Amino acid sequence: MSSRNLDRFGVPGWLQALPFGLVFAAFFIVPLILVVIVSFWDYNDYQMMPAFITRSYTESFEGCLTRLPDLCTLFKTYLSTAKFCLIVWALTLVIGFTVAYFLAFHIRTQTTQMVLFLVCTIPFWTSNVIRMVSWIPLLGRNGLVNQMLIGGHVVERPVEWLLYSQFSVALAFVHLFSFFMVAPIFNSMMRIDRRLIEAAYDGGASGWQMLTNVIIPLSKPGIAIGSIFVVTIVMGDFITFGVMGGQQIASAGKAIEARLNALQFPPAAANAVILLGATMLIITVLNRIVDIRKEL
Amino acid sequence: MNEGRSPAFYALSLFFALFVLFLYGPTIVIFILSFQGPTGGLTFPLNGVSVHWFEKLRAGGGIVDIAGAFKRSLALGLVVTILTVVLSLLAGLAFRKRFFGSDLLFYVTVASLIVPSIVTSLGIALEFRLIDDLIKQHGPAWLADGFQTSLGNFTSGLGAHLTWTLPFGLLVMFAIFNRFDGRYEEAARDLGATPWQTLRYVILPIILPSLVGVGLFGFTLSWDEIARSSQVMGEHNTLPMELQGLTTTVTTPEIYALGTATTGVSFGVIAMALFAIAILRARQARHGSDAARP
């Protein structure tokens, strides 16, 4: 019956999805293919030239095998980026899970829940750069934190590592992107059948057992989706590393940006392909844990 | 469920409060500091209170074409918003049926969120640069003569923004239609409504508040976008790109004034959207049922 209804009923699906699909074909699929193609092109100081050579890759991986056990620039950059991924992932996971858990299980009315969730969402809709800049008056050499530390005689001279440092980069990432953990985990938790919680409670589970045996396993899809977002954002970022690191900290994304600033497109493309490979590797691992499609 | 709150509740409340302070605190600080007196610096204390830095910002002295960038970002944001709402709605409707390539389209959409923005930006830049080369070398004379570039705010820039806003738009549409009660539609069909009438008089009025939400994502994500924009805007930068450039060069509270102004626009748009959603919801609640009417 439903198929007869559909025949009679309305525009075919593929036609409705066509404009949407065309945007991604023109501005996502074709560009990605071009990135792969151009990564094998030749280049000189002022232009790129069609070719099929691996120059850009050999230059990017220069010294990676010969200099072992010392690390080449590329491996060092990826190692450093991976370190940030791990730190930011751990922090946003703990914060995101706690906030989502509070909203989902400790707020009793739906209205309050939505209002508080909105409070967490609104900053996500404002400018990231401004939110980075807003740390300057707090963390700078003469910033509030240093003023308080000196005023309280905790330190004698201003602490220098608060701003334009690895610390401030990690802090800004957590500040900007915890939302990407809060939202999917909250979504997963809201779908947990409350009768399961009742059953666990009636079965004599302690609060901790409830958390580890019921809530965490059932929140796994949200945790995985949030993790994918956070990890891939940090992997490809160049703006937060640039602004909060005072342009001094290397990252996989910044390596691409540096090539682009020099208008060296083929090496930039090769670096982009390497970054894509690394990102896909991470997602494959995370996708093993959960089928994303099922969870939306 | 009216028993007293557990100690865990209070601990978690405190954690949540600190999280909100962490989210909003810095923004509040630069809001205050943007009213710094004319002799004041980038940090506390305030040397008087003034709108000096806002006036300086408006006069445009020292900062390159902020007003132009502001207008460009606004115009681009509006176009992105409209396209995001229309295309996401159509795609959302499509995904309710089964259609050829729906799985592929879904994975491509999600991939667009996950592939690092700089890679997408680079790809689009390459695409348009190659188009430029083609036109310059093989294009007809009327087009090739004096041709500069096809890269621009409303060509490559618009496309880049859409690859970022549309996935969010589609995910919101999924959320909307997951909750949509299909019986309203069936009732409309049974009463002889055409597909267009069903969409126009049944589906759209019900999902309108949520569509405002899709538009909100479209505008705010475009308004703040940098990473995808970085390589594709051609000669004219958008506001957040100019802002990013200023972080390294400007050493006066002017940048805070600019920050307050930008955040003000964001908050204005968010408030307007939330207000519109509330009004639409209230209207639905009033007109949603005709049971009591004669």
Q: Annotate A2-25 with three-state secondary structure.
A: HHHHHHHCCCCHHHHHHHHHHHHH
- Tell me the residues of chain A between 40 and 79 that have a Cβ less than 8 Å away from chain B: none
Q: What is the pLDDT of residue A6?
A: 46
User: What average pLDDT does range B91-100 have in this prediction?
Assistant: 89
The rounded percent of chain B whose pLDDT value lies above 70 is 95
User: Does the pLDDT at position A4 exceed 60?
Assistant: no
- Tell me the residues of chain A between 165 and 224 that have a Cβ less than 8 Å away from chain B: 175, 178, 207
Q: What is the pLDDT of residue A292?
A: 57
User: What average pLDDT does range B13-33 have in this prediction?
Assistant: 93
User: Does the pLDDT at position B252 exceed 90?
Assistant: no
Q: Best residue in A127, A182, A263, A285 to probe B by mutation, most B CBs within 10 Å?
A: A127
DSSP β-bridge partners for residue A48: A43
Residue A13 banded pLDDT, cuts 50, 70, 90: confident
Q: In this predicted structure, which of A236-240, A275-279, B177-181 has the lowest mean pLDDT?
A: B177-181
Give the distance from residue A69's alpha carbon to the nearest chain B alpha carbon, in angstroms.
30
Kindly report the pTM of this predicted structure: 0.89
Which CATH code of 3.40.50.2300, 1.10.12.10, 1.10.3720.10, 3.50.30.60 fits the domain covering A72-295? 1.10.3720.10
Q: Best residue in B57, B113, B118 to probe A by mutation, most A CBs within 10 Å?
A: B118
Q: With CB atoms and an 8 Å threshold, state whether B23 touches A175.
A: yes
Domain boundaries, given as residue ranges, for chain A: 72-295
CA nearest to B234, candidates B156, B164, B162: B156
The rounded percent of chain B whose pLDDT value lies above 90 is 46
The helix, strand and coil proportions of chain B, stated in percent and rounded to the nearest 5, come to 75, 0, 25
Q: What is the pLDDT of residue A295?
A: 54
By the 10 Å C-beta count (0-12 exposed, 13-18 middle, 19+ buried), A202 is classed as: exposed
CATH number of B39-282: 1.10.3720.10
Give the helix/strand (H/E) hosting B62. none
Task: For residue A157, give every residue at least 6 positions away whose Cβ sits within 8 Å of its Cβ, in sequence order, or none.
Answer: A150
Alpha carbon distance A292, B169 (integer Å): 17
A–B CB contacts, 8 A cutoff, strictly below = 269
User: ipTM exceeding 0.85?
Assistant: yes
Q: With CB atoms and an 8 Å threshold, state whether A10 touches B123.
A: no
Q: What is the pLDDT of residue B251?
A: 76
Q: Is A120 on the interface with B (CB under 8 A)?
A: yes
Identify the closest residue of chain B to A26 by CA–CA distance: B159
User: Does the pLDDT at position A2 exceed 50?
Assistant: no
Q: What is the pLDDT of residue A112?
A: 92
User: Does the pLDDT at position B62 exceed 90?
Assistant: no
Residue B1 banded pLDDT, cuts 50, 70, 90: very low
User: Does the pLDDT at position A277 exceed 90?
Assistant: yes
The rounded percent of chain A whose pLDDT value lies above 90 is 50
- Per-residue pLDDT reduced to its tens digit, A135-189: 988 998 888 898 889 888 888 888 888 889 999 999 999 999 999 999 999 999 9
User: What average pLDDT does range A4-24 have in this prediction?
Assistant: 78
User: Does the pLDDT at position B2 exceed 50?
Assistant: no
Do residues B88 and B172 lie in contact, with contact meaning Cβ atoms separated by under 8 Å? yes
User: What average pLDDT does range A108-128 have in this prediction?
Assistant: 89
User: Does the pLDDT at position B258 exceed 90?
Assistant: no
Structure tokens at B282: 């209230």
- Per-residue pLDDT reduced to its tens digit, B118-176: 999 999 999 999 999 899 888 888 888 878 888 889 999 999 999 999 999 999 999 89
Q: In this predicted structure, which of B18-32, B45-59, B99-113 has the lowest mean pLDDT?
A: B45-59
User: Does the pLDDT at position B291 exceed 60?
Assistant: no
User: What average pLDDT does range A65-93 have in this prediction?
Assistant: 90
Please give the mean pLDDT across all residues of chain A: 88
Alpha carbon distance B79, B114 (integer Å): 24
